[in-house]
Structure 1
Amino acid sequence: METRMYQHIVVTTDGTDIDHAAVRHAAGLSRTLNATLTLLHIIPDAHRELSSGTALSVSAEQTEQAWARQGEAALHDGQLDAAGAPLLALQRPALGLDVPHAILREAAALNADLIVMATHGRAGLAHFILGSVAERVVHAADVPVLLIRHSP
């Protein structure tokens, strides 16, 4: 019995321009390997993300609704980037988790055996200050993570 290398690929999108190359790459892998492809957008938990203690002019719920609308647009763009590859587009709330752990939770629930993500490729002070969702996923993942670096 022949086993395929990757049977279910999850590619993340957050609506930024750097995601397009990652989605196209994941779609190409999916077609080549005859693997299931899931395009995933995580809606950050606004209560968690905005818990700086400062007064906000909008509620956490309004913020999450705005992020959900951005996610719908990102999923639409991702479907265009996938250029006909059969895929499932999912948007899921973080539900009390940070985004990296929400990605890992969803990938595990989907039985994904590869996660594809875009990365800015920041280094030095920018990396230290901004951190990296991709890096955190890489360090905590139980499956391989393929990072596609953004090239301007």
Structure 2
Amino acid sequence: MIQLRRLLVATDFSDDAARALRYGVELARSFSAQIFLAHVLEEDLLRVLPALRKFIDTQSLDLGRYHEEIRKGALRALEDLASRHRVEGVAIEPVLLEGGSKAAEELVRASRERRADLIVIATHGRGALRSALIGSTAEKVVRTAPCPVLTIKAGGQHFV
């Protein structure tokens, strides 16, 4: 019999990721499982200010504070998303991952650390080409995850 106790649900705050979260919540409710709601803070966001030095005065900007504000904002967004999807009997723990440009590696690492029984991820995220069969992050997660991966098709049907 399949036992799902810990689900890692990936989000990039896109509509497709929200759909994947709804699937995760319903599975968690059915199996009395815990959800780890994971977002990878992309390194590219943290490189924006130094790249803008040609256009604005970045001398007065505190890059450490900038990074911390982005981190706090992402964590608030995760907590808000988790609170909007909480249902009775389902614990949702926000997990902010800081790993740079390798989102798939961070998600796989987090699934190992939390001993996830299943990863739920949208096939396409914010930056994915819609014409691709599956987005690069989802594809890498499927290929390297230590547990089964449920991919949720972009714009797919709702089963709940």
TM-score by length of 1: 0.74
Contact 1:39–1:87 (8 Å) recurs in 2: no
Change (3 A) 1:29 1:44: same
Q: Secondary structure at the match of 1:18?
A: helix
Contact 2:118–2:148 (8 Å) recurs in 1: yes
CA shift at 1:148, angstroms? Answer: 0.9
* Correspondences of 1:61-72 after superposition (within 5 Å): 62-63=66-67, 65-66=69-70, 68-72=72-76
RMSD after superposition = 3.1
CA shift at 1:84, angstroms? Answer: 3.6
Query: Per-residue displacement from partner, 1:69-89 (whole Å, max 9, x unpaired)?
Result: 134214312431343452232
* Correspondences of 1:2-151 after superposition (within 5 Å): 4-46=2-44, 50=47, 54-55=51-52, 59=63, 62-63=66-67, 65-66=69-70, 68-95=72-99, 98-120=102-124, 122=129, 124=131, 127=132, 132-151=136-155
CA distance in 2 between partners of 1:132 and 1:73 (Å): 24
CA distance in 2 between partners of 1:22 and 1:37 (Å): 12
CA shift at 1:26, angstroms? Answer: 0.5
Q: Larger radius of gyration, structure 1 or 2?
A: 2
More deviation in 111-120 or 35-44? 35-44
CA distance in 2 between partners of 1:64 and 1:133 (Å): 25
Q: Secondary structure at the match of 1:69?
A: helix
Contact 2:32–2:90 (8 Å) recurs in 1: no
Q: Gaps spanning 5+ residues in structure 1: where?
A: none
